[in-house]
């Protein structure tokens, strides 16, 4: 009887020791950092299984599929969120599983640059391998139909900003967000506009903002250039801004503006036509929208580039011609 009790006690002690060892090993397993010297990207498709996920870990050299991974899958039966995950060095097994179950997918960024044309924006979207191409072949009319803006001109309708997205998102989804952001920014700028602006509606404000965007990258000059354009519109002068001519030439423009271009009439040639061009000529940012809505007061009617990114402003044609001689023709 004593021998039986001894055997039972020894068995219980061994079982307890084994259980304690397994528990400690299990805890160590969950807290153990994965084998990665640098960040690793993991992609999970819709409907991926836990077993399939661990097999990906094996292929990436992060771990090996063993009984502990199988037990982890059985205990938690996690629903895996599809997407791309970035696994940082030092991430533990428990942290990784929690990250994937929570769906904390990697976010990418796409920046729409102030002053881009719509053609440049669409080319950049098409060239980005992280985005799924849905709207790449859409005509501009079809694109605007998809954005619930049927009949709208597409140029200028997308707000330059940095947008975050998940790999595999569509180009159309990003354009929807940029279009909505521009609509909101334009509405706010129009609501806060100077009441004396010679503009009929918010679309004309968008057109004017695009001219400002293309004329200067200097934050301090935007409102001053807006003031010049507004005073010219009020006095009946032509705007005579080179970027409108370049835009109207489209793909025929080779990067060099010539006198013949300024004399050749087309809807965007503000040297031959009065008023604003019929559409925006670029994607204006928030600062250009605000400058168009509230131009700086002043008397200048002319400006010319100094060649360093800034402009010289003049009140009279004689002063302007002197500035052109100095900064463009290089005369003293």
Write out the two tokens for 263.
């004399």
Q: Name the band, by pLDDT with cuts 50, 70 and 90, for residue 213.
A: very high
Q: Which domain holds residue 101?
A: 32-105
| Highest mean pLDDT (candidates 73-82, 192-201, 307-316) | 192-201
What are the angstrom distances between the C-alpha of 230 and each of 23, 164, 224, 297?
Answer: 77, 36, 10, 10
Asked if 200 and 88 sit in the same domain, the reply is no
Place of tokens 């292929």: 59
Decide if 82 contacts 45 (C-beta within 8 A).
Answer: yes
Q: Which residues contact 188 (CB under 8 A, 6 or more apart)?
A: none
Mean pLDDT of 66-95: 77
Asked if 208 and 303 sit in the same domain, the reply is yes
pTM of the model: 0.81
pLDDT of residue 95: 83
Strand partners, 80: none
Task: Examine residue 137 and state whether it is found in any structural domain, yes or no.
Answer: yes
Task: Examine residue 27 and state whether it is found in any structural domain, yes or no.
Answer: no
Asked if 273 and 233 sit in the same domain, the reply is yes
Final residue before a domain boundary, out of 89, 105, 121: 105
Task: Examine residue 16 and state whether it is found in any structural domain, yes or no.
Answer: no
Phi, psi of 81 (to 5 degrees): -90, 125
Q: Name the band, by pLDDT with cuts 50, 70 and 90, for residue 314.
A: very high
Checking if the pLDDT of 52 tops 70, the result is: yes
Query: Which residue would you say has higher pLDDT here, 166 or 286?
Result: 286
For residue 252, the 8-state DSSP code is: G
Asked if 317 and 237 sit in the same domain, the reply is yes
Query: Which residue would you say has higher pLDDT here, 193 or 86?
Result: 193
Query: Which residue would you say has higher pLDDT here, 84 or 143?
Result: 143
Task: Examine residue 284 and state whether it is found in any structural domain, yes or no.
Answer: yes
Mean pLDDT of 125-151: 96
Mean pLDDT of 50-55: 81
For residue 118, the 8-state DSSP code is: H
Task: Examine residue 245 and state whether it is found in any structural domain, yes or no.
Answer: yes
Asked if 174 and 201 sit in the same domain, the reply is no
The residue among 242, 208, 232 whose CA lies nearest residue 324 is: 242
Asked if 138 and 224 sit in the same domain, the reply is no
Q: Name the band, by pLDDT with cuts 50, 70 and 90, for residue 30.
A: low
Final residue before a domain boundary, out of 48, 70, 105: 105
Asked if 229 and 289 sit in the same domain, the reply is yes
Asked if 175 and 269 sit in the same domain, the reply is no
Q: Name the band, by pLDDT with cuts 50, 70 and 90, for residue 205.
A: very high
Q: How many domains are there within the chain?
A: 3
Q: Name the band, by pLDDT with cuts 50, 70 and 90, for residue 41.
A: confident
Task: Examine residue 265 and state whether it is found in any structural domain, yes or no.
Answer: yes
Task: Examine residue 214 and state whether it is found in any structural domain, yes or no.
Answer: yes
Asked if 164 and 268 sit in the same domain, the reply is no
Final residue before a domain boundary, out of 169, 186, 203: 186
Asked if 263 and 201 sit in the same domain, the reply is yes
Q: Name the band, by pLDDT with cuts 50, 70 and 90, for residue 56.
A: confident
Asked if 214 and 323 sit in the same domain, the reply is yes
pLDDT of residue 282: 97
Task: Examine residue 15 and state whether it is found in any structural domain, yes or no.
Answer: no
Alpha carbon 166 to chain centroid, angstroms: 12
What is the average pLDDT score of the chain?
Answer: 87
pLDDT of residue 3: 64
Asked if 75 and 137 sit in the same domain, the reply is no
């Amino acid at each position: 009887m004593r021998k039986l009790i001894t055997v039972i006690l020894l068995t219980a002690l061994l079982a307890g020791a084994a259980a304690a060892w397994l528990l400690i090993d299990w805890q160590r397993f969950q807290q153990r950092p994965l084998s990665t010297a640098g960040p690793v990207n993991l992609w999970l498709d819709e409907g991926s299984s836990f077993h399939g996920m661990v097999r990906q870990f094996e292929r990436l050299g992060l771990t090996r599929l063993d009984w502990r991974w199988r037990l982890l899958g059985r205990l938690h039966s996690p629903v895996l969120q599809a997407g791309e995950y970035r696994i940082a060095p030092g991430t533990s097994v428990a942290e990784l599983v929690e990250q994937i179950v929570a769906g904390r997918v990697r976010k990418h960024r796409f920046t729409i640059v102030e002053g881009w044309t719509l053609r440049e924006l669409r080319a950049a979207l098409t060239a980005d391998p992280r985005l799924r191409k849905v709207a790449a072949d859409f005509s501009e009319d079809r694109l605007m139909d998809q954005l619930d803006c049927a009949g709208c001109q597409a140029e200028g309708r997308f707000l330059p900003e940095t947008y975050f997205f998940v790999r595999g998102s569509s180009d159309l989804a990003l354009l929807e967000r940029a279009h909505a952001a521009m609509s909101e920014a334009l509405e706010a700028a129009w609501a806060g506009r100077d009441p004396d602006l010679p503009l009929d509606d918010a679309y004309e404000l968008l057109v004017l903002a695009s001219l400002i965007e293309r004329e200067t990258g200097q934050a301090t000059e935007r409102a001053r250039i807006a003031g010049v354009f507004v005073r010219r519109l009020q006095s009946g002068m032509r705007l005579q801004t080179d970027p409108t001519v370049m835009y109207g030439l489209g793909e025929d423009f080779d990067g060099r503006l010539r006198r013949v271009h300024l004399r050749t009439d087309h809807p965007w040639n503000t040297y031959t036509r009065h008023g604003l061009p019929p559409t925006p000529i670029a994607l204006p940012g928030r600062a250009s929208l605000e400058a168009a809505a509230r131009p700086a007061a002043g008397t200048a009617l002319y400006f010319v580039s100094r060649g360093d990114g800034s402009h010289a402003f003049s009140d009279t044609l004689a002063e302007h011609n002197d500035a052109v001689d100095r900064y463009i023709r290089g005369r003293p």
